[in-house]
């Protein structure tokens, strides 16, 4: 798919959706304002009610949610943008207070994420960061059934007008829980010593996505060597990454979206990226094995940093997260070397509608208003 530049808007939870996890007109305005990005990856979206590990994230399983997302894609396309939807299942990174009928989170095993938080309800019903709950180990046929659940969500994403989908297989959520050779001690076809078994769930879901949307319209986000969300360090991480690069390439996946590298922290709110960390030798091997595009994300805040990363020749696109909050026209600002605005962290995740969300002007409008005023 041709893109107009190498700038990606990274997926970011912003908690502005309506009750019932339904996207709305305000979100359409927000994404529409950012349509000059080469590619927008819309925020992590629940594949099913059992996938909720953070209150106030949107879904793509119900008809009303699909209709809400249609407002978003129409507005982005009206502004000549390209937009994919990031879809996830959080697996054990959940809590019974968010789960249907208060059931236990879904796990690859019964091993809890002992040092990590989710955004859920405490005993008094108050929202905040609390420890992830103890998961229930999924049966083999439940894992297979979940592939069907993803398939349905991909169909919804297509019907909602998305140009493609991104499968969130990073940051210690369900796909990475399966892939991790230390955590995944299952003995069925989805786990154990063989890499082919530990990646089977992800690759079956990728196959489903390619069936629904076509090759070239599916991306996969990975965080190789990451230990965020209490994942044990994986001695087989590189081997698994290179196997995936080859397998994803064979399936016509459009891009690998690599997040390098979240520092250990209890939750996303306090997470920081190791500044521009990347192992060039490993990345060169990924490059050789994968014919699609590579997106690099994690801590980029300037034109110079992004250009230096592109100049390595190892990646094709740079994703910006936080800078996109206060700079709807980030692509133009980077192109012209215009200064960037700073967002107020207290408005990242609130229910206060447009405040800190859609009320940031474009640089030109801002500076012209200052001249006129």
Q: In 224-301, where does DSSP find H-type helix?
A: 237-250, 280-289
Residue holding tokens 């995936």?
244
Task: Please tell me whether the peptide bond between 100 and the residue prior to it is cis, using omega within 30 degrees of 0.
Answer: no
Q: Is 73 in the site for ligand PHB (CB under 6 A)?
A: no
Residue holding tokens 């894992």?
143
Residue holding tokens 């080469």?
38
Q: Is 17 in the site for ligand PHB (CB under 6 A)?
A: no
Work out how close the CB of 88 gets to ligand PHB at its nearest, in angstroms, rounded to a whole number: 7
Q: Which is nearer to ligand PHB, 324 or 363 (CB)?
A: 324
C-beta separation of 304 from 261 below 8 A: no
Residue nearest to ligand PHB (CB): 13
Among 31, 54, 69, 360, binds ligand PHB (CB under 6 A): 54
Q: Is 13 in the site for ligand PHB (CB under 6 A)?
A: yes
- What residues act catalytically? 173
Nearest to 282 by CA among 248, 246, 242: 242
Work out how close the CB of 295 gets to ligand PHB at its nearest, in angstroms, rounded to a whole number: 14
Total residues interacting with ligand PHB, rule: CB under 6 A: 6
**Crossing angle of helices 63-78/25-33, nearest 10°?**
30
Strand 164-168 relative to strand 218-222, pairing? parallel
Work out how close the CB of 158 gets to ligand PHB at its nearest, in angstroms, rounded to a whole number: 22
Q: Which is nearer to ligand PHB, 213 or 222 (CB)?
A: 222
Q: Which is nearer to ligand PHB, 143 or 268 (CB)?
A: 268
Distance in angstroms (rounded) separating the CA atoms of residues 245 and 112? 29
Q: Which of residues 173-212 bind ligand PHB (CB under 6 A)?
A: none
Work out how close the CB of 56 gets to ligand PHB at its nearest, in angstroms, rounded to a whole number: 8
Among 8, 27, 44, 286, binds ligand PHB (CB under 6 A): 44
Q: Is 57 in the site for ligand PHB (CB under 6 A)?
A: yes
* Two tokens, residue 59: 């879904």
Work out how close the CB of 268 gets to ligand PHB at its nearest, in angstroms, rounded to a whole number: 4
Nearest to 118 by CA among 94, 91, 87, 90: 94
Site mask for ligand PHB (CB under 6 A), range 233-272, x = bound: -----------------------------------x----
* Residue 286 DSSP SS3: helix
Tally Cβ neighbours within 10 Å of residue 37: 28
Can you give the binding site for ligand PHB, defined by CB under 6 A? 13, 44, 54, 57, 171, 268
């Amino acid at each position: 798919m041709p893109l107009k530049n190498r700038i990606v808007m990274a997926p970011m939870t912003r908690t502005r959706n309506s009750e019932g996890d339904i996207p709305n007109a305000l979100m359409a305005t927000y994404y529409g304002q950012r349509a000059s990005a080469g590619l927008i990856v819309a925020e992590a979206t629940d594949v099913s009610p059992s996938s909720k590990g953070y209150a106030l994230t949107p879904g793509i399983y119900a008809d009303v949610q699909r209709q809400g997302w249609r407002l978003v894609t129409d507005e982005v396309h009206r502004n000549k943008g390209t937009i994919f939807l990031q879809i996830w299942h959080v697996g054990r990174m959940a809590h019974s207070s968010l789960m249907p009928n208060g059931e236990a989170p879904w796990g690859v095993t019964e091993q809890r994420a002992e040092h990590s938080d989710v955004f859920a309800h405490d005993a008094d019903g108050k929202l905040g960061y609390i420890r992830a709950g103890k998961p229930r180990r999924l049966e083999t046929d439940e894992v297979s059934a979940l592939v069907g659940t993803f398939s349905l969500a991909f169909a919804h994403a297509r019907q909602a007008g998305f140009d493609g989908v991104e499968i969130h297989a990073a940051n210690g959520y369900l796909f990475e829980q399966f892939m991790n050779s230390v955590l995944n001690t299952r003995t069925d076809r989805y786990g154990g010593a063989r890499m082919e078994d530990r990646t089977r769930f992800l690759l079956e879901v990728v196959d489903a996505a390619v069936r629904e949307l076509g090759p070239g319209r599916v991306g996969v986000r990975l965080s190789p060597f990451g230990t965020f969300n209490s994942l044990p360090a994986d001695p087989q991480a590189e081997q698994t990454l290179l196997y995936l690069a080859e397998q994803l390439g064979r399936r016509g996946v459009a891009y690998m979206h690599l997040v390098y590298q979240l520092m250990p922290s209890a939750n996303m709110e306090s997470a920081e990226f190791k500044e521009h960390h990347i192992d060039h030798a490993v990345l060169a091997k990924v490059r050789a094995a994968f014919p699609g595009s590579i997106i690099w994300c994690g801590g980029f805040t300037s034109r110079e940093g992004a250009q230096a990363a592109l100049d390595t020749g190892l990646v094709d696109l740079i994703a910006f997260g936080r800078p996109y909050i206060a700079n709807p026209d980030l692509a133009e600002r980077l192109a012209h070397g215009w200064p960037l605005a700073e967002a107020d962290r207290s408005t990242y995740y609130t229910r206060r509608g447009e405040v800190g969300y859609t009320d940031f002007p474009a640089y030109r409008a801002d500076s012209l208003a200052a001249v006129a005023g």
